C-alpha cells in the first residue's frame, strides 16, 4: 500500500474534549472526512479509521483513541498495519506556540514540547514526517497552558473555527496532491507583527 498516505489528527477521545483547542487534529480529520465522503468509524490499532480517496490518492484517516500524550503506539501500529514508512505520514495537531488561526506546514522536525508529537516521534523512531501545525495562542496571557488547551473554544472563536478547519483541510489536501514543499510556500505565513519564521 505504498501509494497510500496516513493522515493522523491528534486529540483526546470523549465528548468533554471534543470542542477544545487540543482537539483541532481530530476536528481537521472530521472535516476531511466530510469533504471526501469518508467514514472514520473502523476500530483499528487503538484508533478510529476511515479509508477513501482524496483526489487521485488513496488515504487512511485516523484519530487515535488513546489520549493525546500516548498517541505514538497507535500511529506506529497503523503504519505497520498498512506497510507504510514515516514519509507517508501527515500529522495534524494544535500548536500553542503559534497564533490562533495560523497554519504552519513542516516536512520534519522536533516535537517543540508537544507531548502528543513527542509520543509519535518516540514510537515511530524518527521526526522525519510531515506535520500541519494549527495555531491556538489567543494573543493574551494563557496562564496554565495545559488547562487552556483543554478548555472549550470561546464564543468569539466559533465563527473563525470553521474557517481554520477549512484551511487546515486544504493544507492537508495540498500536501497529498502537491507535496510538502509546494504546500509550505502556499500555506505558511509569518505571525502577525513578526519578521521571522518561527520554528
Which residues are catalytic, by number? 22
Which residue bears the cell 505504498? 2
What gap in Å lies between CA 75 and CA 114, rounded to an integer? 16
Query: What is the distance between the alpha carbons of residues 165 and 175, in angstroms, rounded to a whole number?
Result: 15
For 7, 23, 91, the CA distances from 67, given in Å and listed in that order, are: 17, 10, 15
- Residue 158's Cβ-count burial label (10 Å; 0-12, 13-18, 19+) is exposed
Nearest to 47 by CA among 26, 24, 21, 18: 26
Cα separation, 150 vs 191, whole angstroms: 23
What kind and span of H or E run contains 80? helix 72-81
The answer to whether residues 66 and 46 touch, using CB atoms and an 8 Å cutoff, is: yes
CB 3 within 8 A of CB 59: no
- Determine contact, residues 136/149, Cβ cutoff 8 Å: yes
Amino acid at each position: 500500500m505504498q501509494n497510500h498516505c496516513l493522515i493522523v489528527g491528534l486529540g483526546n477521545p470523549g465528548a468533554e474534549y471534543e470542542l477544545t483547542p487540543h482537539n483541532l487534529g481530530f476536528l481537521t480529520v472530521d472535516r476531511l472526512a466530510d469533504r471526501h465522503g469518508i467514514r472514520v468509524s473502523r476500530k483499528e490499532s487503538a484508533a478510529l479509521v476511515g479509508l477513501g480517496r482524496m483526489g487521485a490518492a488513496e488515504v487512511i484517516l485516523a484519530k487515535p483513541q488513546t489520549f493525546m500524550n500516548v498517541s505514538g503506539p497507535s500511529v506506529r501500529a497503523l503504519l505497520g498495519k498498512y506497510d507504510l514508512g514515516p514519509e507517508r505520514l501527515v500529522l495534524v495537531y494544535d500548536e500553542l506556540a503559534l497564533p490562533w488561526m495560523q497554519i504552519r506546514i513542516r516536512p520534519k522536525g522536533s516535537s517543540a514540547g508537544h507531548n502528543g508529537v513527542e509520543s509519535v516521534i518516540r514510537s515511530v523512531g524518527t521526526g522525519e514526517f510531515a506535520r500541519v501545525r494549527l495555531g491556538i495562542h489567543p494573543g493574551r496571557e494563557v496562564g496554565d497552558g495545559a488547562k487552556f488547551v483543554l478548555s472549550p473554544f470561546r464564543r468569539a472563536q466559533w465563527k473563525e473555527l470553521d474557517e481554520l478547519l477549512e484551511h487546515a483541510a486544504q493544507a492537508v489536501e495540498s500536501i497529498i496532491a502537491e507535496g510538502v514543499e509546494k504546500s509550505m510556500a502556499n500555506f505558511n505565513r509569518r505571525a502577525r507583527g513578526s519578521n521571522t519564521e518561527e520554528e
